[in-house]
Structure 1
Amino acid sequence: MSTAPLLSVGWTDHVTGRRGHLVVDRLVRGVASGGLRMREGCTAEEVAGLARGMTMKEALHYDPSARYVPLGGAKGGIDCDPRSPEAYGVLVRYLRAMRPYIERFWTTGEDLGLTQDLVDRAAAEAGLVSSVQAVYPLLDDEAAARARLADAFALEVDGIGLDELVGGCGVAEAALAALDRAGTPYGGARVSVQGFGTMGGATARFLARAGLRVVAVADVKGTIVNPEGLDVEALLAARDAHGAVDRAVLRPGDREEPGDAWLAADVEVLVPAAVSYAVDAANQERVRARLIVEAANMPVLPEAEQLLAARGVTVLPDVVVNSGTNAWWWWTLFGDVEADAEAAFDRVRRAMRELVGLMLDRAEADGTTPRAAAHALVEERLPVIAERYGWY
């Protein structure tokens, strides 16, 4: 796999001076897929790494018998605090500037700091038909496909939109598959989650409903801890749009600890579901969990992962773990799954079980980490995709 991306675009907002980036790592059938994030400090290097990750996620979901053909990988990023009063205007101007790319070959959607509703509203204001319109020419029946996706996005399950839940369903299933393989009963497993937005919140819900005990949840205000288990549904109901929990709902047994307390929680499963680069060579020493499940993109730095592996800690990589949302979008749009919550969850669970199993089998056979095994699977699949559909 080439190390250089196909295309890198830098952008400076003429109003605020804020910087934005677009990196297209690879095209398949002329189209690439990858979300748009907004966070203070977002860099071109970060976006390039995320775009490469999207290429991998797409390739890992390649199924020759499916209607959905994986796309290439891309990513957008804006260096701006999403809570800033300037943020929405910056987003609209970024999308307006990137309109030629979005219209022709970059399909995008929510990522860290942005919700799909916000992206959709800003895209309409920027003059776009849709944030995924570049894929429309590849569809057999565009009108039916768009209606199916709209119907799917309109679905809610116990107060949360299906589009927010599918990613967390995938993360949870990856964790459960690894626990099953290790012979760890769900009832005895404790979980700490960093980030309580779309991905972290949904993951906590699915793990709690599977019987695991969520004992720590971190948001921008700090870490909420209860060794007996937190009331995940109450916390979900008390979130704001950025995943911050209203402390008024905390129960007597719940306590507040510093923002980094999630890392050292006495748990079996650690779920970093917020920012990139959260676990580094220095703070990895504090990790007590035996399993880290990367719900966020690039949360564990390479040197930290080596040190964790030497301590017997397994890291399930982001390219597999959090790939469910992206895959569900395309399964729905291309018609592999209908606008139905149970059908969506079933498809995500089956796909994640298969992928995690393949990855862990490969890691065992090769004597490598799960990430190295996932990369090996990608290296095998990309030439097959290129042979069938061309390099661009």
Structure 2
Amino acid sequence: MTAPLLSLTWTDHVTGRRGFLVVDRLVRGVASGGLRMREGCTLDEVTGLARGMTMKEALHFDPRSRYVPLGGAKGGIDCDPRDPGAYDLLVRYLRAMRPYIESFWTTGEDLGLSQDLVDRAAAEAGLVSSIQAVYPLLDDEAAARRRLADAFAVEVDGIGLDELVGGCGVAESLLTALDRAGVPYAGTRVAVQGLGTMGGATARFLARAGLTVVAVADVKGTIADPAGLDVEALLAARDAYGTVDRATLRPGVRELGGDEWLSADVDVLVPAAVSYAIDTANQDRITARWIVEAANMPVLPKAEELLRARGITVLPDVVVNSGTNAWWWWTLFGDIGADADEAFAHTRRSMRALVEHVLARAEADGTTPRAAAHAVGADRIARLAERFDCHR
């Protein structure tokens, strides 16, 4: 496997905690990838995520769009975001990474961090913006920045548009797979691990499409109701980390162990929290027909092989959770405006076309959706390299 363009480890002089930056590839001199903060984050993890970002970007290449996909990168900090010193650590990390962010790394929220927090810390670290490296590629920087700021100010039923577009993309990916399989939405049962930004939005869009969310897991455990959970009530009762206030649960809702979502009697599992959630030791508990990777790298490769042997299909992260990243750039480059209906329509149309193409490729090649996604991504990376300056 080809080594990334840049890989570095930073050690905080105050706490001794480590942070990482991996740039897998540059396109037109810029790479894109969020910054995550979690206890136990490693360089290998960030390297895999950066490689995945290269693929996510390339999969959305459309020669008709103003948005030209960037290269892939990722940042990570080994710290619990709930730690009292986490914010100061974030500021110090961003200050250390400032030359890279100013030059070629565009970043934003990821696991453990909100965009508001990243923006505040970036300003304190002396940065103009966490995505300022892309500004020289814009035709009208002022108009583009204003359009993105306006889009971030949009709320739909109490949740920011920036949170919702990713879940819209995940939901549309699953709906496309259901349509291809001839499975009706009504009666399709879902369990979601994580009710944060991605998991919460995904649960909302699936419930509104007519699917039944019967289990949701957060750090306190699994909440379940075979008759279906009230997703909107759960979203209203969660804190900034996606943890649901148990005092608000209606009668009949059961509280189960933290990993009970895995064995829930459902058709679809949506891991939307941490990486490496499904491994060879726990995959045999899963009876769902589909696993939809709303999180990054939640299914380990060996586990996916075992799941496939049992007839379980994994819809891969590089495809299904790519909507948030793409929405940023569609908005900034001017393919869409700061409007929720336009954003959702564009996301649904783009994600449906991409998932249809990947699933058709998997069927034609007799392979997995992940292998097909990487084949499609490799084709599009080659097309990007023919037209634009790319470095690895």
Shared fold by TM > 0.5?
yes
* Residue matched to 1:357: 356
Distance of 2:174 and 2:222 partners within structure 1: 21
Query: SS of the residue aligned with 1:9?
Result: strand
Alignment gaps of 5+ in structure 1: none
Does 2:110 align with 1:111? yes
Distance of 1:195 and 1:177 partners within structure 2: 22
Distance of 1:377 and 1:184 partners within structure 2: 26
* Residue matched to 1:199: 198
**Counterpart residue identity of residue 353, structure 2:** E
Distance of 1:364 and 1:325 partners within structure 2: 27
* Residue matched to 1:123: 122
Q: How does 1:241-280 map to 2 (within 5 A)?
A: 241-280=240-279
Distance of 2:230 and 2:302 partners within structure 1: 35
* Residue matched to 1:54: 53
Does 2:158 align with 1:165? no
**Counterpart residue identity of residue 142, structure 2:** A
Question: Contact 2:27–2:388 (CA<8 Å) still a contact in 1?
Answer: yes
Distance of 2:61 and 2:132 partners within structure 1: 21
Q: How does 1:229-248 map to 2 (within 5 A)?
A: 229-248=228-247
Cα distance per residue 1:32-70 (max 9 Å; x no partner): 000000000000000000000000000000001100000
Does 2:219 align with 1:220? yes
Structure 1 residue 384 displacement after superposition: 1.1
Does 2:347 align with 1:348? yes
Moved over 3 A (4+): none
Query: SS of the residue aligned with 2:186?
Result: helix
Distance of 1:311 and 1:351 partners within structure 2: 30
Distance of 1:194 and 1:336 partners within structure 2: 32
Question: Contact 2:314–2:369 (CA<8 Å) still a contact in 1?
Answer: yes
* Residue matched to 2:39: 40
Distance of 1:209 and 1:84 partners within structure 2: 35
Distance of 1:65 and 1:349 partners within structure 2: 17
Query: SS of the residue aligned with 1:4?
Result: coil
**Counterpart residue identity of residue 301, structure 1:** L
* Residue matched to 1:8: 7
Structure 1 residue 232 displacement after superposition: 0.4
* Residue matched to 1:89: 88
Distance of 1:13 and 1:275 partners within structure 2: 24
Does 2:26 align with 1:21? no
Does 2:101 align with 1:102? yes
* Residue matched to 1:285: 284
Distance of 1:239 and 1:40 partners within structure 2: 21
Structure 1 residue 390 displacement after superposition: 2.1
Count of residue pairs brought into register by the alignment = 391
* Residue matched to 2:375: 376
* Residue matched to 1:132: 131
Identity of aligned residues (%): 81
Distance of 2:134 and 2:221 partners within structure 1: 40
Distance of 2:251 and 2:237 partners within structure 1: 16
Distance of 1:344 and 1:381 partners within structure 2: 23
Q: CA RMSD in A?
A: 0.6
Distance of 2:178 and 2:284 partners within structure 1: 22
Structure 1 residue 247 displacement after superposition: 0.5
Structure 1 residue 381 displacement after superposition: 1.2
Question: Contact 2:29–2:389 (CA<8 Å) still a contact in 1?
Answer: no
Structure 1 residue 391 displacement after superposition: 2.2
Structure 1 residue 383 displacement after superposition: 1.4
Distance of 1:161 and 1:46 partners within structure 2: 28
Query: SS of the residue aligned with 2:73?
Result: strand
Distance of 1:103 and 1:197 partners within structure 2: 29
**Counterpart residue identity of residue 384, structure 1:** R
Structure 1 residue 380 displacement after superposition: 1.1
Does 2:191 align with 1:187? no
* Residue matched to 2:384: 385
Distance of 1:182 and 1:196 partners within structure 2: 27
* Residue matched to 1:294: 293
Distance of 2:38 and 2:281 partners within structure 1: 23
Cα distance per residue 1:111-155 (max 9 Å; x no partner): 000000000000000000000000000000000000000000000
Alignment gaps of 5+ in structure 2: none
Distance of 2:41 and 2:284 partners within structure 1: 26
**Counterpart residue identity of residue 235, structure 1:** L
Query: SS of the residue aligned with 1:368?
Result: coil
Q: Structure 1 length as normaliser, TM-score?
A: 0.99
**Counterpart residue identity of residue 225, structure 1:** A
Distance of 1:379 and 1:117 partners within structure 2: 34
